[in-house]
């Protein structure tokens, strides 16, 4: 469902990376994912993230802050 460039983990000046995933048997029940600027302030100024809630959030601080207290994107 994602293109081959994004599947490589880098696209449009951001590094995409999975965070914590929790599985129950063969089913993933929770997950976290972040998109972090490769060169903060140059390739991007916001850190993006999502989790199993399906809400895309952002932070101007870092990826961990995004996951814990990021604001929903609009």
pLDDT value for 1: 63
Q: What is the pTM of this model?
A: 0.80
pLDDT tens for each residue of the chain, 74 residues long: 678 888 888 999 999 988 777 787 888 778 888 999 999 999 999 999 998 888 999 999 988 888 888 888 87
Three-class DSSP labels, 27-72? EEEECEEEEEECCECCCECCEEEEECCCCCEEECCCHHHHHHHCEE
Q: Give the pLDDT confidence score for residue 41 in this predicted structure.
A: 92
Q: DSSP class of residue 70?
A: P
The pLDDT assigned to 12 comes to 92
Q: What pLDDT was estimated at residue 14?
A: 94
Scored b (16 or more CB within 10 A) or e, 6-29 reads eeeeeeeebebeeeeeeeeeeeee
């Amino acid at each position: 469902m994602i293109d081959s460039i994004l599947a490589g983990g880098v696209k449009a000046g951001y590094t995409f990376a999975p965070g914590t995933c929790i599985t129950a048997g063969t089913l993933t029940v929770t997950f976290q994912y972040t998109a972090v600027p490769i060169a903060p302030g140059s390739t991007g100024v916001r850190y993006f993230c999502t989790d199993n809630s399906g809400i895309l959030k952002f932070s101007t601080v870092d990826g961990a802050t995004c996951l814990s207290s990021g604001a929903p994107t609009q």
